[in-house]
Structure 1
Amino acid sequence: MSYTSHNHLDYKCGLYAVVENESRFLPHVDTSAHTTIIGTSSRTVLKQSFENSTKDNIDELRYIFPLYDGVSVVGFRCTVGDRVIDGEVQERVKAKALYDAAKARGQTAGLLRQSVSAADAFTITIGNVPAGQKVFVDITYLGELKHDAQVDGIRFTIPTRIVPRYGRRQFGDSAIDNVSKGNLTITVDVEMPKGSAITSIESPSHPIAVSVGHTSKAPNADQTFEKATASLSLATNTLDDDFILIVVATNLGEPTALLETHPTLPNHHALMATLVPKFSLPAQTPEIVFVCDRSGSMDYQIPSLISALKIFLKSLPVGIKFNICSFGTTFEFLWNKSKSYSQATLDEATNYVSNFSANMGGTEMYNPIEEVFKRRFSDVDLEVFVLTDGEIWGQDELFAMMNKHVEKAKGAIRVFSLGVGSGASTSLVNGIARSGGGFAQFVHDKEKMDKKVVRMLRASLFPHISDYRLHVKNLKCESCGDDFEVVEKPQSPKDEGDAKKPISLFQKDLKEDADSSTNAGASSLPDLQVPGFMQTPGVIPPLFPFSRTTVYVLLPHSCPHVTPKSVFLHATCSTGPLELEIPITVLDEKASTIHQLAARTEMKELEEGRGWVSTAKVDNKTIKDKFPSQYDDLVEREGVRIGTTYQVSGKWCSFVAVEKCKDGSAKISDAPPVFEEVIKVSREDRMPMMSACRGSAPVFRAKTSAQLSSNNYPNAAPSWASSGVPKQLPSYRRSSGRLDNQAMPGPLGSPGSLWASAMAPSLGMAPHQQPQQSAKTKVSSSGSSFELNGGHDGETDDFGVGATLNPLMEIIKLQLFEGNWRWTTALEKMTGIKAAAAKAAAPGHADDVLATACAVAYLKLKLGEDKEAWELIVEKAETWLEAQVKDLAALEKAVHALF
């Protein structure tokens, strides 16, 4: 039996080889993940084991898996039998050449690469796996935790699957999964800074066990509310949904600045400044456009999308212009141009949204977003909200287009993004927000989104401030200048008086291989003087309440004895200057965490068309204008320099692990020459569409466009009948008793998940054989939580599928565009207050005034737990009331007495 590498584009998920044109998966034995959260950053060690249970050696195995966008992969280790090989970051093509050379020598080798099409998808390739051996894959990655606006806490996510994505990629065939027979454990240790007490830890995705007072590494240490441990343990390695953990702690938003010294790089220091802003500015009246994904993949998210949009629409302030764009394979606008907010336009928009369905085919996002930019009013700021499940490839083209329009508008455009549902592409949703100068939020299938959308809307009403600047105080050094210098390759002095020596057209002794033109491209690039003081992101994004902002600075190596005391953040706006000084805490122990987080941030900036190279100038011209033909190569070279210096993988850098020879001569730096490979990106580097990678995809998920069909690209997702998935599957019941997933049961084990179930033949089985269905541990999908002093209740989404009557949605449905209510039978029924009773309690007021006062009182007194969902609605109502009555406090007192 022969085993060959998987050279075409039909990718699967899991560790597999191609055996006689059939994908065969190694049995998946055990999986463990251990995460340490310190403050607002995390370090995760993911360990997985597989087994080659056959009697044959395997030439090459491939393994596709997801990671959260923006994480820094800083460690890669493969253990095959008794051979341990550690990875090192090298330039992408060089890493591939090293791997191929080691594999050709018969050595065990490993290669970890990021997809060039999506930054949250990775491939591991392992060469030369002996028969009967176990394979252990260890990945270590760092992450900067996102702020969760729903609960005002930090959000940690372990993605478990790569969903099928819409784009020009060949699909995999039927849903095939790797054979599982082991255990799954996830442990998260949480350590907060001194003075910050943990108030709640919860998982909206899975049932967890929580222990407060200590971590798993030090269970016998003194008890403190600054530490806790959360764990998940299953007698199967099935994990269908992303694992999400939300931590709420006191003083978590306090501004901090930390200075770290690198343990191995001499005189390398890195600074991290982070804060969740708390400041108030007068609201603006911009143009607001909602860009809504209505592709087939959104089918089971449409009810939540409709509810979110209705809250958005009712919360809009008077005076703005707004519009709605729906997209799928094609796109449409509610109106050709945005219209002023009025009762008529509100009613029209509400009716339009109420009829939403996932009937617009695939997910073509580029054209609708660009059209929104083209149709904007040039005399007002534009706020764009993109609501999507984020399932596309070709993300770089989208980001480049957004960068161009945002830069052209000179800060007048901001884009916010909301990732809806499990499996939303984190690289897409976060990338949209980064390119658009807004911020991103994610909503899991079992989470509410009301507070998040209201906070996003409130952020969009903040004035545009584009001149945030960060100064490091007490850092004065001659080599720390902020100017960038470009130095061309040295050339021989030119003597104007000397004639150039003629070159013979026929050189008899010339050898063809003497021509070095193959490497001319790399050698002819101009040298860029790397700034000694490197801030990333170079342009500080707008600051918003309830959105964490982190800025890194790599300090000059030539100033090792200068210790900065504080960082000073300032900006200007129409109401005056904005300022904040943050004292710097110098970390006692040397470490590389902040350096690697900073390196990955700058690499992401470069990958998405920004970074310091994009703003560097020579002869008063930007690098792009000075060297247009070489600009992309210069950006890539800088990305490689950063990645290899700080050992962080990315788009242009890969981890390669090569087994050393017995004499130790096969060192990882012994790279063979790289010639023609440097001019191409291997087709296998581009992740294909993976229909095998999301078991919950309906038959019509991500329908293809006519253009795709004309190119003979098949449909995005196979039918369940063809995928080997049972037609009838159990539903998971939430603790509230509502069957959230009954309408749309997903397959057991979700093919393509990072930890998947037994649903495919193993290497030893014939292609037509199916394994016996393994027993499943029935897990409640309600999640679980630990809570102190209140906190998020983790209940079901009242706006989701299966909701019958939601008081908040019902009462805001009755509100008029100016913010007031009128007496109706429905309002009397909702509030429990009759119009006559209100008139008797507060005589002399108009009916509309009393109706509005009663509605506001009902929201405050009966729906207080949903305050952050209705606060903008109430603010608008109270503004209307203040214009109608002289003594609003007396009216409120009289009306409150009725409840």
Structure 2
Amino acid sequence: MSSEGPSVQVTSVPASLVPYSLSFSARVSSPRPISKVESNSSLDPLQYLNADQTQVTVKLSAGHKFDRDVELLIYYKDAHQPTAVVESGQASAAPGTLMGDPVVMVSLYPEFPQSVMSSVASSGEFVFLMDRSGSMGAHMNAKDRNQTRISSARDTLLLLLKSLPMGCYFNIYSFGSSFEHIFPKSVEYSQQTMEEALKKVGMMEANLGGTEILRPLEHIYDQPCILSQPRQLFVFKDGEVGNTKAVIDLVTKNSGSHRCFSFGIGEGSSSALINGLAKEGGGHAQFITGTDRMQPKVMQSLRFALQPAVVDISTTWDLPKNMSVTVLSPPITALFHGQRSLIYGQITGQSSEAATGCVTVKYSLAGHLTQNRLNFSLKPEEDTGLTVHRLGARTLIRSLEMEGREPRGNHQAGVKEKVVALSIQSGVSSCFTAFIAVNKGDGEPIQGPLVRRNVPVPAMMYCCMASPRSFGGQRKMLSLSAKACPPPQPCSSKKSSLKAFFSMASPISKSAWEGPPPQPLSLHSLPQQRHTDRFFSCPTECAVEEDEAEVKQPPCDPLLQLVSLQNASGFWMQDAALAAALGKTSKEVEKSKPAQAKSEVWATILALTWLHKFHTDAKDEWEILARKAVLWLQAQNAPNVTECVDAGNALLGCSVQKAALGL
């Protein structure tokens, strides 16, 4: 049979003419009261289903235009308090099995004391280990053909290096079949070392062949730790490796001397490796797949790395005498402020409806012993769809899969039997099982040719905008793909000498037209590149005639363009490069500067104001480097900060409050 079929043209129509509609309703249940639900699409008024506001119904308003994904953000009251949900077992399952017994899910979302969180770590040895194998040259996703994994990694290293605290140490390793390092050993973070590192990062390509990660890790661990500089290791990896156990064992062996934060890039990255590195290294694992951006996830992990380490974590259970709990989750090895951790347990034994249990989590933070104690009802929730059971089964299956990788005779076969039995029982897939759809109809083959029906889709348009950002800077709780784009918005320039303009071949993101657009680039006043940070390139060339000097093309992403100009200690220089990044001319910036203001203070306040106004959706990417800028400003003890903020708002056409800047 030929694999080729007739070519069919799919009809594209304006979003308003799509001959179908979308209706959506969700029922949300939570152990904690639900304070509000937000969306980037229009919603009907929220309907609470009970007095304690733990159950609500959310409905999408009629007339959805298919011009954006439908996303919901759900906010809870007392979100940092631990919660527990007990779910009843499956009636048809045998007692004593995971699906037949009740399962409890404990959610921990710790909130550390403000005194601890307000003191940003100014020490540490930050070691970045970047994959530069050939597969890193692949595109980040099918929708954006202009950005590869290695180019996204370069952007990410820029943000990381700009966000490091003064006084720390750092080094950057990269690996493939061989490995390289920027410095022979970790060096103190300064303007000079940062510029040297960024210059070499700019030349990184996916050209080191295979993926031999064990040797560079051994070299890193062979370097002696620096006194009073806790080591934080960031590992970036796509694809698989053939020696996962040896790599994880090496991290485990050195777990007492560092924390390991791991990042799996692309759908093919090894979850066993990425999760194992973070678990054994006391850090946090992140996966960048689909249309995910690498930068916000990496910066979240940097915030974790800047927190003091939580140690001596223990969990104890207190249940009635005739009951017990079998913990399904691996032991918790790391806790971070604002990061949820889940514990699953299978409950055996009989209980009365009024019976209660207690779970206590203890840990040490910054030398102080902390205890979270949670009392919960043992009465199971009914008609929950066995969601908690399947989540618990998935956790146990993943742990057993990791255990099954250990070559210990018949041990592997025994683990496989457990995983297969649990997978079939719970309906959760594993590395040993697969689920196949079966038609339980009349058993007769389908007769006649397949019928194709063409369904019109919303027309997609392309335009030149900043790189996509996530809605509201928040994590997606629900996303239904139904995108279409408004008319394109061309880039602007104030001079007729502009001979070409950008044409980025990627759909405009929803946030690009929902919120305020970034300031247009004033290409007529771009300066000659400074020798350090400008290593980004646009997908198409752009020629500009310049009265003052011949210039190179700036970064396409306005945010990265501004970030690349920040000095290591946190301030920005008032120069033509900054003016171009802000979409202004040097004369406009100088004319608006308060008479008594120092140029660096004025430039830094301008940069902070621009970030808070035009890139609030990307705050998780620039928040740390902005905080460094605020600390620098406070150290200057400048007398006219308020005047600079007012003048900056006037120049940029916004109204950002001084308090919002952290000043």
Q: Is TM-score (shorter-chain normalized) higher than 0.5?
A: yes
Change in CA separation of 1:888 and 1:425 when aligned onto 2, cut-off 3 Å: farther
Determine the structure 1 residue equivalent to 2:184: 336
CA contact (8 A) 1:455 1:546 kept: no
In the other structure, the counterpart of 2:560 is: 809
Q: Which residue of 2 is the match for residue 318 of structure 1?
A: 166
After superposition, where does 1:11-30 map in structure 2 within 5 Å?
A: none
Q: In structure 1, which of residues 844, 856, 864 is the aligned counterpart of residue 608 of structure 2? A: 856
* Same amino acid, percent of matched pairs: 27
Higher strand share: 1
User: Which residue of 290, 294, 311 corresponds with 2:128?
Assistant: 290
Equivalent residues of 2:594, 2:643 under 8 A apart: no
Consecutive unaligned residues in structure 2, runs of 5 or more: 6-21, 47-54, 138-147, 441-458, 468-504, 519-535, 541-553, 652-663
CA apart distance, 1:313: 0.6
- Structure 1 residue 604, shift from structure 2 partner: 1.3
The answer for the alignment partner of 2:74 in structure 1 is 249
What is the rounded CA distance, in whole Å, between the counterparts of 1:800 and 1:578 in structure 2? Answer: 50
Aligned residues: 513
Map Cα deviations across residues 690-726 of structure 1 (whole Å, 9 max, x no partner).
xxxxxxxxxxxxxxxxxxxxxxxxxxxxxxxxxxxxx
Aligned twin of 2:521: none
Give, in whole Å, the separation in 2 of the partners of 1:422 and 1:471: 37
The residue number in structure 1 matching 2:94 is 265
* Ranges of 4+ aligned residues in structure 1 off by more than 6 Å: 23-27, 186-189, 210-214, 558-562, 653-660, 783-788, 790-794
Residue 595 of structure 1: which of 384, 389, 396 is its match?
389
Residues in 2 aligned to 1:456 and 1:368: alpha-carbon distance in whole angstroms = 21
**C-alpha displacement of 1:270:** 0.9
Q: Is the Cα contact below 8 Å between 2:516 and 2:614 reproduced in 1?
A: no
Query: Deviations along 1:718-772, whole A, 9 cap, x unmatched?
Result: xxxxxxxxxxxxxx965435799xxxxxxxxxxxxxxxxxxxxxxxxxxxxxxxx
Supply the distance in 1 between the matched residues of 2:329 and 2:274 (Cα, whole angstroms).
Answer: 18
CA distance change for structure 1 residues 545 and 331 in 2, over 3 Å: closer, same or farther?
same
Q: State the distance in 2 between where 1:860 and 1:892 align.
A: 15
Partner SS for 2:302: helix
CA distance in 2, matches of 1:228, 1:540: 38
Cα RMSD, aligned residues only: 4.9
Matched, 1:307 2:87: no
Q: Distance in 1 between matches of 2:516 and 2:83?
A: 25
Does residue 1:535 correspond to 2:364, yes or no?
Answer: no
Work out whether 1:826 is the aligned partner of 2:577: yes
Deviation digits for residues 229-251 of structure 1 (CA, Å, limit 9, x no counterpart) = 99x9x9xxxxxxxxx98643222
Q: Look up the match of 1:882.
A: 634
Structure (1 or 2) with the larger CA radius of gyration: 1
Q: Is the 8 A contact 1:196 1:226 kept in 2?
A: no
Give the structure 1 partner of residue 230 of structure 2.
381
Deviation at 1:634, TM superposition (A): 6.1
SS of match in other structure, 2:311: coil
Q: Amino acid of the residue matched to residue 250 of structure 1?
A: Y
Structure 1 stretch 555-564 or stretch 403-412: which is displaced more?
Answer: 555-564
| More contact order relative to length (CA 8 Å, sep ≥ 6) | 1
Task: Determine if the alignment matches structure 1 residue 226 to structure 2 residue 58.
Answer: yes
Question: What CA deviation, in whole Å up to 9, does each residue of 1:393-441 have, x standing for no partner?
Answer: 53xx32x335434433455433323344565555554454444443333
User: Structure 1 residue 606: deviation in Å?
Assistant: 2.7
String of CA shifts for 1:213-235, please: whole Å, max 9, x gaps. Answer: 89xxxxxxxx97535699x9x9x
CA 1:836/1:247 → structure 2, altered by over 3 Å: closer, same or farther? closer
- Given the superposition, is the C-alpha separation of residues 892 and 373 from structure 1 closer, same or farther in structure 2, using an over 3 Å criterion? farther
Within-5 A mapping of 1:153-168: none
User: Residues 447 and 646 from structure 1, CA distance in 2 versus in 1: closer, same or farther, beyond 3 angstroms?
Assistant: closer
Q: CA offsets per residue over residues 310-356 of structure 1, 9 Å max, x none?
A: 01110111122211111222221112322111112101110011111
Q: Check if 1:199 corresponds to 2:48.
A: no
Which one-letter code corresponds to 1:262 in the other structure?
Answer: G
Q: Which amino acid aligns with 1:842?
A: Q
Map Cα deviations across residues 250-303 of structure 1 (whole Å, 9 max, x no partner): 229565321012123336221112244443534432221222122222222222
Give the match's secondary structure for 1:438. coil
* Paired residue secondary structure (1:469): strand
2:430 to 646, 650, 653: 650
Map 1:416-565 onto structure 2 (within 5 A).
416-421=261-266, 424=269, 429-444=274-289, 446-473=291-318, 475-477=319-321, 480=324, 533-545=325-337, 547-557=339-349, 563-565=355-357
The alpha-carbon distance between structure 1 residues 814 and 24, as it changes in their structure 2 partners (threshold 3 A), is same
Residues 799, 573 of structure 1: CA spacing in aligned structure 2 closer, same or farther, 3 A cutoff? farther
Relative to its length, the structure with more helix (as a share) is 2
Does the 8 Å contact 1:441/1:452 carry over to 2? yes
1:496-521 deviation digits (Å, cap 9, x = unpaired)? xxxxxxxxxxxxxxxxxxxxxxxxxx
CA shift, 1:584, in A, is 3.6
SS at match of 1:587: coil
Partner of 2:596: 842
State the TM-score, normalized to the length of structure 1.
0.48
Distance between the aligned counterparts of 2:460 and 2:517, measured in 1?
17
Amino acid at match of 2:295: D
- Give the secondary-structure state (helix, strand or coil) at the position aligned to 1:250: strand
Aligned AA (2:393): A
Letter in 2 for 1:882: Q
Q: CA offset at residue 873 of structure 1?
A: 1.1
What is the rounded CA distance, in whole Å, between the counterparts of 1:642 and 1:881 in structure 2?
Answer: 58
Q: 1:598: how far off? A: 1.4
Q: Describe the SS at the equivalent of 1:351.
A: helix
* Structure 1: distance between partners of 2:605 and 2:249: 47
CA deviation string 1:505-558 (max 9, x = no partner): xxxxxxxxxxxxxxxxxxxxxxxxxxxx32233311423345432211122347
Match of 2:194 in 1: 346
TM-score by length of 2: 0.64
- In the alignment, the residues of structure 1 paired with residue 156 and residue 304 of structure 2 have an alpha-carbon distance, to the nearest angstrom, of 16
Cα–Cα, structure 1 residues 652 and 298, in superposed 2: closer, same or farther, change >3 Å? closer
Decide whether aligned partners of structure 1 residues 824 and 420 sit closer, same or farther in structure 2, where only a CA change above 3 A counts: same
User: 1:182 aligns to what?
Assistant: none
Report if the CA contact (8 A) 2:127-2:170 is conserved: yes
Do 2:27 and 2:56's aligned partners in 1 also have CA atoms closer than 8 Å? no
Whether contact under 8 Å (2:233, 2:260) holds in the other structure is yes
Distance 1:539 1:560, change over 3 A: farther
Structure 2 Cα separation of the partners of residues 839 and 783 of structure 1: 35
Task: Assess if the C-alpha contact under 8 Å between 1:269 and 1:557 holds in 2.
Answer: no
* CA deviation profile, 1:85-123 (whole Å, cap 9, x unmatched): xxxxxxxxxxxxxxxxxxxxxxxxxxxxxxxxxxxxxxx
Contact 1:600 1:648 in 2 (8 A): yes
Q: Secondary structure at the match of 1:226?
A: strand
Aligned runs of 1:116-127 on 2, under 5 Å? Answer: none
> Relative to 1, partners in 2 of residues 1:359 and 1:410: Cα closer, same or farther, differing over 3 Å?
closer
Counterpart of 2:215 (choices 355, 358, 367) is: 367
Q: How far, CA to CA, are the matches of 2:57 and 2:312 in structure 1?
A: 39
Q: 1:446 to 1:607 in 2, by over 3 A?
A: closer
Q: Which 10-residue stretch deviates more, 831-840 or 458-467?
A: 831-840
